[in-house]
Structure 1
Amino acid sequence: MSYNINALSELSEQFEKLPGIGRKTAQRLAFYVLGMSAEDAQRFAETIVRAHREIKRCKVCQNLSDTEVCSVCADEGRDRSTICVVEDPRDVFAFERTKEYFGTYHILGGLISPIDGIGPDKLYIKELLARLNNSEVKEIIMATSPTVEGEATAMYVSRLIKPLGIKVTRLAYGIPVGGVLEYADEVTLYRALEGRSEL
């Protein structure tokens, strides 16, 4: 006869649904939650429900926001002549951490992947094109992942934009800082050569 507590098992199963969480980690998290005070557990649950209810997509760039227009799009100090196109809201956080990019963003909401049944119509491409009616935009930076899907998406979007007379650029990819050349694959080395800059 196996030892089982239904509520604990269900809590553990919910944690296990999170990305990167295995069975043992899920169990640890479940026991941690059980060790919380009733007030802390209630606040934790309410925070999840509130975030799910209040966070929506920005009506301009499709980023996550708790207001109709996100803080980046609302910031008058941002350079509106440049839009950095990314696949996911997490990519915006990565760019913002650099404190080097001052333009705006557009989130596609994924990448074109026929194998997974994701076509261009399932991404926020129409919304991007609608933003380009504004002649203020001079450059689109395609910052999708350097994968087959990322490259295909970047090429598809750039083909739609180029006829509008807007410059389309692609992020340079190459050797990471501290990387060793002999361990780099051919594509990474090719990208590093292609994206080289003058010293």
Structure 2
Amino acid sequence: MNTPSSLEALIEALRCLPGVGPKSAQRMAYHLLQRDKPGALRLAHSLGSAVENLRHCAKCNSFSEEEVCVLCSSGKRDDSLLCVVEMPADLLMMEQTQCYRGMYFVLMGRLSPLDGVVARDLPLDRLIRRAQEQSCEVILATNFTVEGEATAHYLATLLRAQGIKVSRIARGLPVGGELEHVDSGTLAQAVLERREVRE
């Protein structure tokens, strides 16, 4: 049986999503068309609107509908701190902690030579310019993956060469975690990054 061309195009379009193979894309397409047409129309409208209206913030490089996002426009942020994260989702997680009141810069990726992502693919010139303009401490908050660690190391070298103060978020045990359930690498890092107990 031949699949209608518009259905085939929808299935193929859904495959651009990460982790979505041909079978998953097909299931999604059938579900949207058969069981949730209003949802399909809402999805199409929202996607079109997002593509048309969103851009990168001129300061932090996250997504924004304005030239400068709300967070960067706020006068209540500490501009002596600049936290570098990989993706906008990481920025949202940092904000949810409610312990950081500085500014951000979103790389929109990380160094990953195996995936073809090298330094020139990241907005590093903009990051350096922003750090120099703010005369701030840069806090590297990339993920603790091989790629995230490589990115943090590369950025630290690059920024320190410009005379910029650089720090890295600490690694260690999760809150509520028990030692017997923690992997040895995390435990070793927690021991190495221990700090003095003060009254």
Normalised to the residue count of structure 1, the TM-score between the two structures is 0.84
1:169 Cα deviation from its structure 2 partner:
0.9
Residues matched between the structures, number: 196
Question: Structure 1 residue 15: deviation in Å?
Answer: 2.8
What are structure 2's unaligned runs of at least 5 residues? none
Secondary structure, in 3 states, of the residue corresponding to 2:189?
Answer: helix
Aligned to 1:132: 131
Aligned to 1:61: 60
> Runs of 5+ in structure 1 lacking a partner?
none
1:195 equivalent in structure 2: 193
Q: How far did 1:115 drift?
A: 2.5
Secondary structure of the structure 2 residue equivalent to 1:150: helix
CA distance in 2, matches of 1:24, 1:44: 20
1:88–1:110 contact (8 Å) kept in structure 2:
yes
Q: Which moved more, 1:90-99 or 1:3-12?
A: 3-12
Say if 1:83 and 1:137, in contact at 8 Å, map to a contact too.
no
Which moves more between the two structures, 183-192 or 68-77?
183-192
The match for 2:50 is: 51
> What's the offset of the Cα at 1:10?
3.7
C-alpha deviations, 1:132-158, integer Å up to 9, x for none?
Answer: 232x43311101111222112111111
Q: Indicate the residue corresponding to 2:106 in structure 1.
A: 107
Moved more, 40-49 or 124-133: 40-49
1:52 Cα offset (Å)? 0.8
Structure 1 stretches of 4+ with a deviation exceeding 4 A read 2-6, 22-25
1:22 positional shift: 5.0
Does 2:26 match 1:30?
no
Note the alpha carbon deviations across 1:61-105, whole angstroms, 9 max, x for none: 111111111111111110100000011111111111222211011
Q: 1:148 to 1:3 in 2, by over 3 A?
A: same
Measured on the aligned residues, the alpha-carbon RMSD in Å equals 2.4
C-alpha change, 1:12 and 1:183, in structure 2 (3 Å) is same
Contact 2:82 2:105 in 1 (8 A): yes
**AA in 1 matched with 2:111:** I
Instruction: Calculate percent identity across the aligned residue pairs.
Output: 40
Per the TM alignment, residue 189 of structure 1 is displaced from its structure 2 partner at its CA by 1.6
- Relative to the length of structure 2, the TM-score reads 0.84
Q: Secondary structure at the match of 1:81?
A: strand
- 1:1-199 matched pairs, under 5 angstroms: 2=1, 4-21=3-20, 25-34=24-33, 35-37=35-37, 41-134=40-133, 136-197=134-195, 198=197
Quote the Cα distance in structure 1 between the aligned partners of 2:2 and 2:180: 53
- CA shift for structure 1 position 183: 3.9
